[in-house]
Structure 1
Amino acid sequence: MAKQGGTSGKPKGHKVALVRMDATFFFERAVRSLDRHDLPRALKYFRKVVEYEPANPVNHCNLAGVLSELGDYQASNEVLERVLLELDPKMYECYFYMANNFANLGLYDLAQEYASRYLEVDPEGEFAEEAEEMLDILVTEFGTRMVRRRRDGRIRLRGDEDVARRFLEDGRFLDAAAYLEAKVQESSDATVDRNNLSLAYYYLGDVEKAIETAKGVLELQPGNLHAVCNLAIFYRSAGKEEQTQALLDQLRRLRPIQPELAYKLGTTMGILQEHRTAYDIFNHLVRFLPRPEAPVVHALAAAAANLGRLRKAARLWEEVHVLDPSSGIGRYYEEVVREAISRGLEVLPVSYQYVLPYADTTRLNGPGSEDPGSKLGRELWPPESVVRSSLMWVLRHGDPVTKKQVIPLVVSFGGEDVERALRFLLLDDDEYLPVKQAALKGMFELQPEEIVEIGLPSRILPVDFRPESARSLAGRPEWQRIVQLAVQELQGRGETTLAKVAMEIWSEFTQLIHLQAPRVRKPELWAGALECAARHRCHLPFSRKEVAERYKVSQQGLGDRLWLIIETCMLTD
């Protein structure tokens, strides 16, 4: 039977119009998402634009703008820094954008520094007038002073203290230690980095190493108040009461003029249960600061409550509520202290930290780092059902930054509803990456029995979070060989803490990739990629070419495996 010409059932003269998936395609969708105020979707599309045109600095600036709108100011600044360092050093407006981000983070010295830098390099620029206005406000309202941070005569694009502070505040103590060890190697007299490094060791539970590091700061700079305060807490934690009392004798006599140092000293004295001294310090701050901020007034109220001055504390928390009504901290503690008064309590142990007590449980504290006030009687908290329902609502409807903050707490509650909520977040392609990172960490803690599907940029990844699933893959000889090679290389270079970071990443990766594990033909490729991933996570610079040469592998192969580790473990900031 002969075949007839043409295609039966299809209209002639019509062609299927193929959609061209390029940077313009995703840019148009990003703009439409912005018009609809759908920031998470706009972020997704701008990331795609950057993928298709990575050399265009404007694309990166658009991405940074959306990150800033979402409240992730640190990530926004890292994108802008990349523009200045790698793409276009003359895109001076990045300095102004970074100044805005630092101001939103409350880092006013850095905000002033970057606004000034913008005016230096582009005095007639598009944002010159706004930068001048910002500087006027910073000086008038916050009393900040210009602090030039220079290295080799150039302004530093990323404040090292800011990166370290972010790691410490997020509970990433191992990353903080690896990052700060590298910084101390670069500059042996960096007292700020050494102080933060001592805290990282302390939170990791290595109290003796924390003590030695703090003592090293005092050798470089005798009388450094941050080091003395830290050392007093470390000694108390280590049970070295004689040394603790010797430092307390020094600290009781100090009254720093600078508000930042006074706040540090007052908080330290509170943690060490020296509430009378803490009260005097914070009372002086509140009386003499032109505009005392809510955390300072809260600290004074906490000292008053710990001393038994409950009515004074109640009045102060009323003031905190007026200064910062949106946080709810002043209102909460005012209700708690009035309840304590009605019950006839004489003293109310209260934390000096400016957080709600149930939010404070999300912080990973080092041994002995929690002051007695953080153990505030749980019977004075709102009922768990009320807290739980409100937090679950935030998890479903809140903004990305708030979602990220509440995930650790809802995980501590546990339950099927929490697991379902985290599953939804992990599978949602449009969800903000830091939220998915927090949800992933939560799943590692919950260890659900059923398979969890995770939406990654290139695929859907099924994961078995049960501990035995990770052991079955990690126990294979070729997979053990990978981590052994990376750890041996890093330890041989004296980077012991970074080796621990690599082991932590590999533990996560083997569990996540278990159900879709690739075949390992050359362990050295994976070992080099693992080292790069550890440096990437700790914000340490590295050369893929140099690492590939050390492991005697190809850059391309190493890069492919590095991307798989970064994507799977969500290591991208």
Structure 2
Amino acid sequence: MKKKLRVSGEQHNITLLQLDANFFYERAIRSLDRFHYDKALKYFQKAVDYEPNNPINYCNMAGVLSEIGKYGESNHILQKVINEIDPDMTECHFYMANNFANMEFFEEAERELLHYLQEDEEGHFLEEAEEMIEFLQYELERPTPLTKVKARAGMYEHIRARELLEEGKFLEAIRMLESITEENPDFLAARNNLALAYYYVGMSAEAKRAIEAVLEQEPDNLHALCNLAIFYHYEGNQEKLKSLTAVLTKLDPFYQEHLFKLATTMGILREHAAAFRHFQRLTKQGEAKKDPCISHFAAIAACNIGRLELAEKYWLMTRSMDEQSPLPDFFLTLLKHMQKEQHIPASMSYSYFSSVEEQMDAWELQARERGIELDPLYKRAYLFWAFADSSREGKLKAIYDLEPCYNDEVEGMLKQFLLQQDEDDYLKRIVMYTLRSMGMKDAFEVVLGGKLLKVDAQRVPTLESSHLTDCDPLWEQVAELALTRTAKRYNAIWQHDMITLWINFLSKGYMTASKLTKIEAWAAALEYLTAKLYNKPITYHEASVRYSTSITTISKRVKEIDAVLGIKGKLKEAPWYMGSRK
């Protein structure tokens, strides 16, 4: 505004100050540059007075208050902006989260930060917010319950949905992926994973429609093509699968994610040469070359095409990257048996579990689903690995399923195990019973209790048997009868525990029990109690028929054994109560 003023009779042109919000804003900024916070605060207040509906002016005031440590006053102004001036100014929640964090009100800071991430579309402070999340997780000692980041347009939710798929929580993943694709129709990765989720729960028609929706927008989408090929494979649609596989085998993707997807798809389709080529490329690229799973998959593919020397190379590589996992050593043991027996199991599956036992269980399940017996080579490799590197429980598991893989090499290894000084005497007794049940006739040597013994394969020593030298020799006939009648139905571990139960009873209660007559009834009682301990279904009637004796007599013998050992009170426990295993 310019006015002509008359001073002392003379005319002068004077420019008057334009006192508005911009004027006081500029003065406030200059004061901030000079660290004059009090003046800056006053000038920002004047700017608010001139433009009371401008949220920026309020935020500037809140910023100065935060700078001088008045976090509560700052939050009061920010709350006013959200409640009264501009509810869509979501960055105020981020500012408030910072103020609460500075006051060490971490729960409140988390609340405001989540509000910001879930509501802010622009994401100007996204990186800073993610850093604050890590800080709050540390302070609160728990994960932040974040379910959505609006500025990432479904990316965060998609990551969580993929985690749900990996955890087997398919219905939760479907709900999340459906929401993502509704809000972001062009999010093709989410549509591909939605197709997989549908397929996992048996919704084949919905899975196909999801894939078709992707291919309509992007006909060359590799993930969709791979998923479609997998669906054709499991449906047995060989005609469509053949033409699609011909296309896929010619591809050599550039990006690691695409390369991994194609490699795993080729493995599922049993195109192992193509799978090996892609996994081999991945072992040489970026982060993938540090991933033990990749080198393991390369080894599996190498086995499937008969390149055992390359399989060894990649399993050694896996072991160097995953020193804590027992899997590489197990697979190297398996590889030695392949080379020794000149036999490779048909189409080894591409999987990498956290334990050898999980890997064995997965193979067993796959074999059952195909209606076949698991290749004995797997069980033999597990046996040798378990007796070399596994725990006591691992060795017991290997013995439990010994029969399908038993041969001369296995027998020789078990005999060597019996001579080891530092091994468990209980395990040795189990091994001796196993050798007997496998039909071995020759005597062998064993170290028990630190002493070298020569053992008749038909008369295996049991726990505390030395206590029974003065007992009626019929006790051995009871044991022999029980072992004979259970030979085809009980494994070596169960048989050993049955005889251990018998020895403990005789050692503790023989002098108070009835005379040792009717060995059939005693043997039937032993089997009955052992079956109960292992939750194996049995009735007195079954036992009476099997041992040709009366139900009443068996029942009496069961009660006599129970009176000494108190077995009924322990039926819910593990069956290892019968004494020391050493």
- The TM tier, using the shorter chain, reads 0.3 to 0.5
State the TM-score, normalizing by the size of structure 2: 0.40
State the TM-score, normalizing by the size of structure 1: 0.41
**Higher RCO (C-alpha 8 Å, min separation 6):** 1
Q: Find the structure with the greater CA-based Rg.
A: 2
